[in-house]
Structure 1
Amino acid sequence: MQKEIEITIAPEHIANEQIILQNLSRALKVDVSTIKHHEVLKRSIDARSRKVIYRLQVRAYINEFPNKEIAAITYQKLTDAKTVIIVGAGPAGLFAALQCIENGLKPIVIERGKDVKQRRRDLAAINKQGLVNTESNYCYGEGGAGTYSDGKLYTRSNKRGDINKVLQIFVQHGADQDILIDARPHIGTNKLPHIITAIRETIQNAGGEVLFDSKLTDFIIESGKIKGVIINQEQELLSNSVILATGHSARDIYELLHQKNILIEAKPFALGVRIEHPQQIIDSAQYHCDIRSEFLPPAYYSMVEQVKTRGVFSFCMCPGGIIAPCATGQDEIVVNGWSPSKRNNPFANSGTVVQVTLDDVQGYDPLRMLNFQSEIEQLAFEAGGGNLVAPAQRMIDFVENRLSVDLPKNSYLPGTKSVMLDNILPSFVASSLKAALPLFGKKMKGYYTNEAILVGVESRTSSPVRIPRDRETYQHPQINGLYPCAEGAGYAGGIVSAAIDGVNCANAILNN
């Protein structure tokens, strides 16, 4: 007999199997000896009361043993298979490629950037010298933006596809099995490159191709049908199915589509700053303690507030994390955050952003939101003075309209410069943040403090452009065989939701 039940465990006992069994025995009202096996299905921390606990959703096997099932997917070697071109080797592109192989289709993945190993050198140049390689950076390259910006796997995309399958594939390629049960699964930037490499090798071993330094520069279209793409302005690659999974920062792709009169649309996004606190402040507030227990991970938070008609919310929170420079072009500042798997850095950072609506940027140009985003990033670069030095301000100084005399120690490696962020952020963004931050402080003790630093700008929260597609076929309404996919097309946000969208596009090709 199998039973699923929720039990609570003190943090210091979370690894003690005997105590977990005893709790199960009491909750199920059965003798411990009858519980032949148990498995944790979900694990989360409940810090709502002063006594912090773990909540475990557990499946108990009473007087029986589980049937061991092999969850790993076997990818068969392809022979004489129809080809599918996949533009972009981020999570959407890689998972689309895996699904193509499952469906008997040969994926050819083209990626403008480098493989994960070669990307490291370009990231080092960004952090140490302020030099941006416009084809290889935190956003471009194998694995996409997620590879070197954290690997958070939390998603609400329950209705879009099989989340568990995505997580299982990550585990199959080297991720820790904890991601299958944690409420907020997280791989860690230090581990993701090896996992991404393993996924690429699976694709190649099955007969698929992954081409690096291969930038899409044009589409081959005849009579409203895709026939292939042109790489690096010279090489033709032919297929009548193209998945466009280029991520939210490939501005040249949006411009190319617009130049070719292929329908795209302006899309709302969010804009703000990345806020960093000492991790100890967040731990103390969330766990109601002076010093965090060794049995608890660095604390997480999520904030949201409505300021008049505009939403202000935290985004991509990184406990024990680092603020990273994520520009993809020259003379722009873009910041994001990431954490290693242990989340053991002394700071906690989170994007804190304000909704930007289509009414905020007047006009009919489908690129107007993108241009608006770009203008703010250039202002931030100018304010920082170059070399990717980021404009920054202490939190209370920002709210009270004071230039910070100095800035607290922080994790942003290229450096920060004290400025008035009002001179960079649009007035409606600045005023909304100023109204929301004290309210966040009322929700979480210690949050509203001048020990926190605001670093600008957090602007790549989502794509400012949508590439439309048919709900049933996933194809562009004008171009048969072109499949806009995931974040870059405006249909997903985050690693797992992007991966699911890649799977859905691959399945749509098979169905069509």
Structure 2
Amino acid sequence: MNKILKYRLKPEIALDESNLDAFISPKIKGGAYWKLLKRSIDARGKKVSVDVEIGLYDDQVDPWSIAYQKPEINVSSRPVVLIVGTGPAGLFAALRCLELGAKPILFERGKDVQERRRDLAKINKEHIVNPDSNYCFGEGGAGTYSDGKLYTRSKKRGDVRRILEMLVVHGASEDILKDTHPHIGTNKLPKVIADIRETIVSRGGEIHFNSKVTDFIIKNGALKGVSLTNGEKHEGEGVILATGHSARDIFELLEAKKITIESKPFALGVRVEHPQSLIDSIQYHCDNRGKYLPAAPYALTTQTRLNDVQRGVFSFCMCPGGFIVPSATAPGEVVVNGMSPSRRDSKFANSGIVVAIENSDLKDFQKHGNFAALAFQSAIEKKACEMTGGQQKAPAQRLSDFIGNQLSQNLPDCSYQPGLVPTKLSEVLPDEINKRLQMGFKDFGKKSKGYVTSEAVVVGVESRTSSPVHIPRKSDTWEHIQLKRLFPCGEGAGYAGGIMSAAIDGEKCAEKLIEQYINV
């Protein structure tokens, strides 16, 4: 007998293992086993509840057990697939290559996940940005030192459960299989990434760090290999390009090689930080969330109309119990992002609040052609840096002052370690974006009473929401529309928007490449 029971429970029952067992066990007849399959917090009513799904089974073989197993085959002498980038797209492409009997060789411009920590410390403490090792570049990509959010709406793209199981097998908590909005946490993700690396290398794959790709080897209209900074050349059966949304030099290389790319819509704005206790009180309708409920997240969206043009304003990468971090990838620019540890126990809650940017909004940048969106993005990041003295201090205003376009005389405590400079963000952001953000915040204040407050701080700029460049590929083969054996992949190519969708895209690209070019 396999059966699923559904309950709506109080948080102190659903979110405490012993209390849940005390509730479920008396309802089970002798010899049966139970397992928590899903849980989801519902805070829409006056009292918070938790929906749970409980699986019952009557023998010791768990029908909902993890199916994924690490591949056993050694691929050291098998045909080679070259993978550029070791973010989730690149790493999961490599894992899929192992399963299908191809040898993945990965090239990462940055350092391994442990060595990256030193460069992150230099950004925060000394304002020194290493262009190849930072919050965006290095083993694991931008997602490693982030909240590790694993929620995706892209369930039609592939098997989400499979990706979650692969993460669990490589060290993530089984909680990610149960929670509706799972996350791993910036303190635990590096260990997971390191374990994935061990799987790849132990099965005959290769990972080369400090190995920046500077050129492509093209033969007879097909991409056969890559050249590295140190002069090494590597060839294989094809190349999966999984370089992330901030690898501007790769976009420039594609353009120089006359390999088709396109300017792409994206979103840009600011990051706002509130006291977590305030967000808890808004979301949970109480003064104190207690010991069972986690730090409350939120998701807000609205439409703004300005000059007869409608654009969305929405929260992005919300990090409850988290920190704002510097995400610049070169000196002379200021970029912010958010991250959370697994326990989400910081006293702050932060979220990107961004405006949708369409190509038609970039009239002043059309002279940059395919780099119109990238040039727009870069100009604002440089302006933010100039306004704050040329280091990694970020321009900021109290939220109430931002809406009123007033310079803040002082700023509240903030988690952003390099420091803040009181600045009118209207002098950093284009006028239209600034006005739409002000309109968006006002609407959010109506939807969430207490959200607009002088206790909150607005920090600029949140500009790396997604790639400003699209690398087009064929819909059937997933190969570049022009260059054979090139498989654009993940966020950097414009085909993903987070860890899960990037991982799924990486797996699919590996499958497509091997299906067409490798007889395994």
Task: State the TM-score, normalizing by the size of structure 1.
Answer: 0.96
Give how far 1:4 is off: 2.0
Matches within 5 A, 1:84-103: 84-103=81-100
Matches of 1:35 and 1:254 in 2, distance apart? 60
Q: Match for residue 53 of structure 1?
A: 49
Residue number among 68, 73, 86 corresponding to 2:69 in the alignment: 73
Matches within 5 A, 1:203-282: 203-232=200-229, 234-282=231-279
1:204 corresponds to which letter in structure 2? Answer: V
The percentage of counterpart residues that share the same residue type is: 54
Q: Per the alignment, do residues 21 and 125 of structure 1 end up closer, same or farther by CA in structure 2, a change over 3 Å counting?
A: closer
User: 2:143 aligns to what SS in structure 1?
Assistant: coil
Q: Match for residue 121 of structure 2?
A: 124
Q: Match for residue 431 of structure 1?
A: 435
CA contact (8 A) 1:264 1:468 kept: yes
CA contact (8 A) 1:38 1:58 kept: yes
CA contact (8 A) 1:492 1:501 kept: yes
Which stretch has the larger CA shift, 68-77 or 146-155?
68-77
CA contact (8 A) 1:35 1:60 kept: no
Give how far 1:20 is off: 4.1
Matches of 1:508 and 1:272 in 2, distance apart? 36
Deviation digits for residues 218-253 of structure 1, max 9, x if unmatched? 001122101200011611111130000000000000
Which stretch has the larger CA shift, 96-105 or 395-404?
395-404
1:6 corresponds to which letter in structure 2? Answer: K
User: 2:32 aligns to what SS in structure 1?
Assistant: strand
CA contact (8 A) 1:325 1:334 kept: yes
CA contact (8 A) 1:13 1:19 kept: yes
Matches of 1:196 and 1:79 in 2, distance apart? 21
4+ residue runs over 6 A deviation: none
1:43 and 2:39 are equivalent in the alignment: yes
CA contact (8 A) 2:13 2:23 kept: no
Matches of 1:211 and 1:82 in 2, distance apart? 18
CA contact (8 A) 1:390 1:415 kept: yes
Q: Match for residue 344 of structure 1?
A: 345
1:8 and 2:8 are equivalent in the alignment: yes
CA contact (8 A) 1:225 1:240 kept: no
Matches of 2:326 and 2:222 in 1, distance apart? 39
Deviation digits for residues 21-45 of structure 1, max 9, x if unmatched? 676689xxxx532571122221111
Matches of 2:59 and 2:215 in 1, distance apart? 60
User: 1:145 aligns to what SS in structure 2?
Assistant: helix
2:111 corresponds to which letter in structure 1? Answer: K
Let me know the Cα RMSD of the aligned residues: 1.6
Which stretch has the larger CA shift, 4-13 or 143-152?
4-13
User: 1:407 aligns to what SS in structure 2?
Assistant: coil
1:386 and 2:382 are equivalent in the alignment: no
Matches of 1:18 and 1:262 in 2, distance apart? 59
CA contact (8 A) 1:90 1:145 kept: yes
Q: Match for residue 482 of structure 2?
A: 478
Q: Match for residue 314 of structure 2?
A: 313
Matches of 2:454 and 2:31 in 1, distance apart? 53
Matches of 1:156 and 1:16 in 2, distance apart? 28
Deviation digits for residues 145-199 of structure 1, max 9, x if unmatched? 0111221111111011111111111111111100011011110101111110010
Matches of 2:206 and 2:345 in 1, distance apart? 37
Matches of 1:299 and 1:255 in 2, distance apart? 41
Q: Per the alignment, do residues 70 and 268 of structure 1 end up closer, same or farther by CA in structure 2, a change over 3 Å counting?
A: closer
User: 2:240 aligns to what SS in structure 1?
Assistant: strand
Matches of 1:22 and 1:117 in 2, distance apart? 42
What is the number of equivalent residue pairs in this alignment? 507
2:14 corresponds to which letter in structure 1? Answer: I
User: 2:218 aligns to what SS in structure 1?
Assistant: strand
User: 1:58 aligns to what SS in structure 2?
Assistant: strand
Matches of 2:16 and 2:332 in 1, distance apart? 53
Task: State the TM-score, normalizing by the size of structure 2.
Answer: 0.95
User: 1:276 aligns to what SS in structure 2?
Assistant: strand
Matches of 1:43 and 1:112 in 2, distance apart? 39
CA contact (8 A) 2:66 2:165 kept: no
Residue number among 279, 289, 295 corresponding to 1:298 in the alignment: 295
Residue number among 108, 111, 118 corresponding to 2:108 in the alignment: 111
